[in-house]
Amino acid sequence: MGDRWQVTVDRGVCIGSGMCAAAAPDGFRLDTARQSHPVAPETDADERILAAAEGCPVEAITLTSAGSGEAVFPPEE
């Protein structure tokens, strides 16, 4: 891929399931309130981070291409 992604977690939506941190331990951590946050706001494109975003039960994770700003996940309709 070679792309860079901006990673955000909507903490108002996150229910603290921990699935993202399990899928991508380098990408997401849960804080003491069991809210997920990205380890870094920008990261190399990574299948595990995409899998974490896809696997979030409440779609709290948004990925955008750092270069173009295009939606990576959820994909634009």
- Per residue, the 3-state secondary structure of 29-72, as one string, reads EECCCCCEEECCCEEECCHHHHHHHHHCCCCCEEEEECCCCCEE
Please report, as ranges, the residues that interact with ligand SF4 according to CB under 6 A: 9, 14-20, 28, 36, 56-58, 60-61
For ligand SF4, the closer of residues 47 and 67 by Cβ is 47
Q: How far is the CB of 19 from ligand SF4 (least distance, A)?
A: 4
Task: Pick between residue 19 and residue 45 the one whose CB is nearest to ligand SF4.
Answer: 19
CB-wise, 28 or 73, nearer to ligand SF4? 28
The CA–CA distances, whole Å, from 17 to 8, 21, 34 equal 16, 9, 8
